[in-house]
Amino acid sequence: MELLGTGNNGHVFRARSEQLQRDFACKIVPVANLIRYEEQNGAWRQEIEKANALQSASVVKFVDILQWDDKKIPLDVVVFVSDYVTGWSLREFIRKERENVDVSFIKQFMETMLDLLNEMKSKGLEHGDLHDGNILVEDRSYALTGPRYAFRVTDFGVSRATSEPALEDDYGHLAEVLRKLLECVDYQVAVPRDKYVYNILNNEYLARHLVEIDPTRDSLARNPKEMFVRLQELQFDFDAGDGEEATRLLTPFDFLSCEQIGDAPSLLQALYSERFLGLDQIESRNNTVVTGPRGCGKSTVFKCLSFRHRIRVDDVHPEKVRYVGVYYRCDDLYFAFPRYTRPAREEALDLPCHFVTATLLSELLDVLESWARRHFLTEFEKSELSVSSKIWQILGIPVPAQPGAETFRELRSELSKQRMRAAKKARFGNDPRQGFGQYFGVGTLAKVCEALNQSFEFLRERPFYFFIDDYSSPKITKILQENLNRVFMQRLPFCFFKLSTESPVSYSRGDVDGKIYVENREFTLHNLGLVYLHAAPVPKLEFIEDVFRRRLQAPTNGYPVQEVGELLGSNIEQNNNEDARKIREGHKIELWGKETLGRLCSGDIHYLIQVVRDMVVAFGGEVALRTSTDLPRISKGAQNRAIREAAGVFLKNLRSIPTHGDKVVEIVTAFGNVARSYLLYRDSKNEDGRPPHQATRIEPYENLELDGEAKELYEELLRYSVFIEDFRGKSRRGKVVPRLYLRRFLIPHFNLTFSNRDSVSLESSDFTLFLVDPAKFEDKFRLKTVERDNAADNENGSKKVDDAQLNLELKDKEK
């Protein structure tokens, strides 16, 4: 009857059955687009039939799969017949009915999609091409009950059945659709309830739950059921707190991530501790790659050091300002250049640089103008016209022929347009038919910064810091990093780049021109995991106490405990050697006290807050704390149980890591079992008194040369901070090798001590065995009796009986 639309794979028509008096949707796909079409039960047919395996009313069901048999118009195509939905595609709806996209509409959409994702997860299915063209908005204006619109999902699995490469997963696609919907909302005119829901959707679902793949970092990641429940609870949360949850803590354990705080500068400032270890290095005048376990506070620190935040909390008096910081979170970059690969057209190579340059400059000009008008008004008004003219010239954009064009405001307006121009053009980087104009080169940002620095007296001694947050692969692909490193690795006296990434293997140290950036020359690597591993106990504990003090004293209803020491007590007498002897005797040591938090910390403050929350919940919550007079408030046994259970939950969540989850758990478990056997059956040679060998790290004899599966697994261990890599030590053979420290949070699970003294030393071949076949590794290295002790490894990696343990055995026999 009519053409409804055209996609990458075929045309969709509305068709009419006169016999049934009913309309159908018919998608016509050339057989050339169907993989292994000639097979009777080919994958293309199985994928399409998945839709009918789902019970959800939101899925558009297939009615039939037909061969084209019109001899007058011979076509080599297949016809997919499905239910016809009266309405629009979501893409068309956004374009034509934008004013009807409000927060309620978006929340209903998310509930529908999460409900569908939950059923698909339970049946091991996925859509594979969940974009706004394959989501339909059904018009229910005829209905007397229920919402005006309903959402239906179509083209289930067609993308996977065609010759087009598979796209990213359904959660990433849903995040992209959510972003487009949120852009339709006028936040400023929204009522408080809608603003609250909007902030949750934007700051939690879009920034984390939907794009996060690490369940150890976010329990809602890839968990549609829990995300759905969270959405259902928003109404109650708003009513319970009068809609102020986004700006204040109701309990000391709210807002475990910086993204959840959203646009609440006073709360962010209240929770930020200036005792943060490693802060001096972050604020140094160097290009810095900051890495560390997720949840270690990188985002919080970057955001708090930004000028936007400091202006909002009135912390920009000239005497306090040493640099002007610009914060940029890479979620925006991810959605503009998803799954980025090097474009076939060289003319398109600078598109990411253009996008990022326009973004950073727009923010920089905005905060500079705000600060200058507050403290340097005369100088700014005097120079704004000439400086703006200079910037227009650097950008290579003609000055608009209108009054007021040579202002920072007009520059920001143009830069916003340039951002959108680059993002839209990026889709056509491989299209030979596209024309490409001029784009900002890799030096444009630096030239503008230099012009600003030299044009305003109040900036002469104040460089610019660009805080680039969550610059991690695979979200920001290695190729995209290598493109943008041409900007971020420039060594300049007036601007410095601070890049945060979740692990050393999440950052590419080269660029698309083949240049390799050398640590301590182009940049410094600042691993916060190592900072906290090697930090002295006193400053580390002072920081942890300050983190909890700010939270315990923040709730407006007066929390009954003000210090973490009051909650947990102090266990300053704990001794690793004595604990090891007790473990060897068959005891399970009790972990308690605020000092234990310091021992557990590998920089992952997020987990410390969670485990203390679990202790409080198990104790009975705030009500029980108000009636208790015991000190510490939480019993030693309850603390010990919560710590050990949290380590077990962490390992359980590791299994959910895509692709290698089970193998990662097998690897770390093999190490834990071997290390525990060393503690039981081997004495340390590094100290007088021969205490038990307490290995919580791996030390290779030689530098590692890994490839294939071993390299992939090694990077997974580092990416999820199961082990923390340290290149500062030397092996017994004098080689500089990476020491791998077990994440402190896992130590209780294997009943080890927190000592950093001893290690499990391995030849390179044994380290590879450890990665690819952890069961064989454990069988080879795990000690079972004193007679089969590990003793000292010789240069060939063989085992021999330790002299000290042999002497002890001879003495026992003499007795």
What are 645-701's pLDDT values in tens digits? 998 888 988 888 888 999 999 999 999 999 999 999 999 876 677 899 999 999 998
pLDDT tens across 271-304, in order?
889 999 989 999 999 999 999 887 888 999 999 9
C-alpha closest to that of 222 among 122, 291, 155:
122
The pLDDT of 631-644, averaged and rounded, is: 93
Task: Give all strands of the β-sheet with 77-83 in edge-to-edge order.
Answer: 2-6, 11-17, 22-30, 77-83, 62-67
Average confidence score pLDDT of the chain: 87
The pLDDT of 306-331, averaged and rounded, is: 94
Mean pLDDT is highest, among 78-92, 136-150, 738-752, for 738-752
C-alpha closest to that of 245 among 213, 292, 203:
203
Same structural domain, 647 and 696:
no
Question: What's the pLDDT at 732?
Answer: 63
451 has a pLDDT exceeding 90: yes
Whether the bond into 474 is cis, omega within 30 of 0: yes
Buried b (16+ CB within 10 A) or exposed e, 274-283: eebbbbebbb
- Which has more confidence, 560 or 735? 560
C-alpha closest to that of 186 among 177, 197, 195, 178:
195
At residue 640 the predicted structure's pLDDT band, cuts being 50, 70 and 90, is: very high
Give yes or no for a contact between 281 and 560, defined as CB atoms under 8 angstroms apart: no
Residue 810 belongs to some domain of the structure? yes
CA distances from 16 to 2, 21, 26, 500, 553 (A): 10, 7, 10, 56, 67
Q: Show which of 49, 83, 117 is a domain's final residue.
A: 83
Place of tokens 């030299």: 454
Same structural domain, 699 and 787:
yes
Same structural domain, 34 and 78:
yes
Q: What DSSP designation does 208 have?
A: I
Give yes or no for a contact between 97 and 207, defined as CB atoms under 8 angstroms apart: no
The pLDDT of 348-376, averaged and rounded, is: 96
> Which backbone phi and psi does 185 adopt, to 5 degrees?
-85, 130
Burial of residue 64 (number of CB atoms within 10 Å: 0-12, 13-18, 19+): exposed
Phi-psi domain of 457 (left: phi exceeds 0; alpha: psi -120 through 50; beta: other) = alpha
Question: What's the pLDDT at 435?
Answer: 83
Same structural domain, 633 and 760:
no
pLDDT tens across 401-412, in order?
887 789 999 999
Distance of CA 32 to the CA centre of its chain: 39
Alpha-carbon distance of 677 to 790, in angstroms, equals 9
Q: Show which of 32, 62, 83 is a domain's final residue.
A: 83
**How far apart, in Å, do the first and last CA atoms of the chain sit?**
100
Q: Are strands 11-17 and 2-6 parallel, antiparallel or unpaired?
A: antiparallel
Percent of the chain with pLDDT over 70: 91
Give yes or no for a contact between 190 and 103, defined as CB atoms under 8 angstroms apart: yes
Residue 685 belongs to some domain of the structure? yes
Alpha-carbon distance of 283 to 296, in angstroms, equals 17
Residue 669 belongs to some domain of the structure? yes
Same structural domain, 626 and 669:
no
Same structural domain, 724 and 796:
yes
Question: What's the pLDDT at 657?
Answer: 84
Question: What's the pLDDT at 703?
Answer: 83
Burial of residue 56 (number of CB atoms within 10 Å: 0-12, 13-18, 19+): middle
**Least confident piece of the model among 8-22, 235-249, 559-573:** 235-249
Residue 464 belongs to some domain of the structure? no
**Least confident piece of the model among 3-17, 257-271, 755-769:** 257-271
Question: What's the pLDDT at 13?
Answer: 92
At residue 815 the predicted structure's pLDDT band, cuts being 50, 70 and 90, is: very low
> Which backbone phi and psi does 665 adopt, to 5 degrees?
-65, -40
Residue 65 belongs to some domain of the structure? yes
Alpha-carbon distance of 185 to 179, in angstroms, equals 11
Question: What's the pLDDT at 802?
Answer: 38
Beta-bridged to residue 523, according to DSSP, are 519
Residue 780 belongs to some domain of the structure? yes
For residue 16, what is the enclosing H or E element? Answer: strand 11-17
- The total domain count for the chain is 3
Alpha-carbon distance of 132 to 465, in angstroms, equals 37
Same structural domain, 763 and 708:
yes
Place of tokens 């059945």: 161
The pLDDT of 175-197, averaged and rounded, is: 89
Instruction: Cite the beta strand spans of 548-595 per DSSP E.
Output: none
Place of tokens 């290095």: 281
Alpha-carbon distance of 475 to 335, in angstroms, equals 10
Q: Which residues, including other chains, have CB under 8 Å from residue 639's CB and lie 6 or more apart?
A: 568, 591, 592, 593, 596, 615, 632
Same structural domain, 646 and 672:
no
Positive or negative: CA dihedral 352, 358, 362, 368: positive
Indicate which CATH number applies to the domain containing 76: 3.30.200.20
317 has a pLDDT exceeding 50: yes
Alpha-carbon distance of 290 to 501, in angstroms, equals 6
Question: What's the pLDDT at 157?
Answer: 62
Q: Are strands 524-527 and 87-89 parallel, antiparallel or unpaired?
A: unpaired
**692: amino acid identity, one letter:** P
Distance of CA 460 to the CA centre of its chain: 36
Question: What's the pLDDT at 127?
Answer: 86
DSSP structure string for 134-168: SEEEEE-TT-SSS-SEEEEE-STTHHHHBSSPP-S
Question: What's the pLDDT at 235?
Answer: 72
Residue 475 belongs to some domain of the structure? no
Question: What's the pLDDT at 790?
Answer: 42
Q: Show which of 57, 83, 109 is a domain's final residue.
A: 83
Same structural domain, 595 and 713:
no
Give yes or no for a contact between 183 and 77, defined as CB atoms under 8 angstroms apart: no
For residue 325, what is the enclosing H or E element? Answer: strand 324-329
Same structural domain, 687 and 612:
no
Give yes or no for a contact between 326 and 363, defined as CB atoms under 8 angstroms apart: yes
Same structural domain, 807 and 678:
yes
pLDDT tens across 572-607, in order?
888 999 999 999 999 889 999 999 999 999 888 988
Same structural domain, 740 and 641:
no
Question: What's the pLDDT at 806?
Answer: 32
Angle of helix 764-772 relative to helix 708-719, nearest 10 degrees, comes to: 80
Question: What's the pLDDT at 729?
Answer: 63
The pLDDT of 360-370, averaged and rounded, is: 96
Beta-bridged to residue 185, according to DSSP, are none
- Structural domain harbouring 604: 534-654
Whether the bond into 632 is cis, omega within 30 of 0: yes
Number of H helices, E strands in the chain: 31, 17
567 has a pLDDT exceeding 50: yes
Alpha-carbon distance of 214 to 654, in angstroms, equals 8
Give yes or no for a contact between 755 and 694, defined as CB atoms under 8 angstroms apart: yes
C-alpha closest to that of 740 among 781, 702, 697, 701:
697
Instruction: Cite the beta strand spans of 648-767 per DSSP E.
Output: 695-700, 723-726, 739-742, 758-762
Alpha-carbon distance of 509 to 648, in angstroms, equals 35
Beta-bridged to residue 467, according to DSSP, are 327, 498
The two three-digit tokens of residue 716, written as one number: 């997974």
Residue 582 belongs to some domain of the structure? yes
pLDDT tens across 503-541, in order?
888 999 999 999 999 998 899 999 999 999 999 999 999
